Amino acid sequence: MFVVVAYDISDDALRERLHKTLRRYGDAVQYSVFECVISETQFRDLRESVAMLLEPSGETGVRYYGICEACRRETQTLGRARTATDQPLYLL
């Protein structure tokens, strides 16, 4: 599955921990936006890992956008932008 994760976190230390966590699952295409090509199980693990970092009542926000294959193919970039699927994907 293809998932875009976007976040808005003002606390520098928390933002850095979240960034490091998300790098285990996908590619940063902007500092606060990740594209992830992952399985359902990995997506569940990702959400659990993120939930452990954040306080639900805090001033933080994380959004997960599931993108279907047809919509992913319609992704457009400008300039040097790239998507996580621009590179060959190897599933083990």
pLDDT number for residue 83 = 60
The answer to whether residue 85 sits within a structural domain is no
SS3 10: coil
Q: What is the pLDDT along the chain (92 residues), one digit of tens a residue?
A: 999 999 999 889 999 999 999 999 999 998 899 999 999 999 999 999 999 998 766 677 899 999 988 888 887 777 766 665 555 444 43
Show the domain range for 9: 2-77
Strand partners, 80: none
| Cα 43 to Cα 36: distance, rounded to the nearest angstrom | 9
The answer to whether residue 89 sits within a structural domain is no
pLDDT number for residue 75 = 79
The answer to whether residue 87 sits within a structural domain is no
The answer to whether residue 40 sits within a structural domain is yes
The answer to whether residue 63 sits within a structural domain is yes
Domain count across the chain: 1
Q: In CATH, what number is assigned to the domain containing residue 49?
A: 3.30.70.240
The answer to whether residue 27 sits within a structural domain is yes
pLDDT number for residue 60 = 77
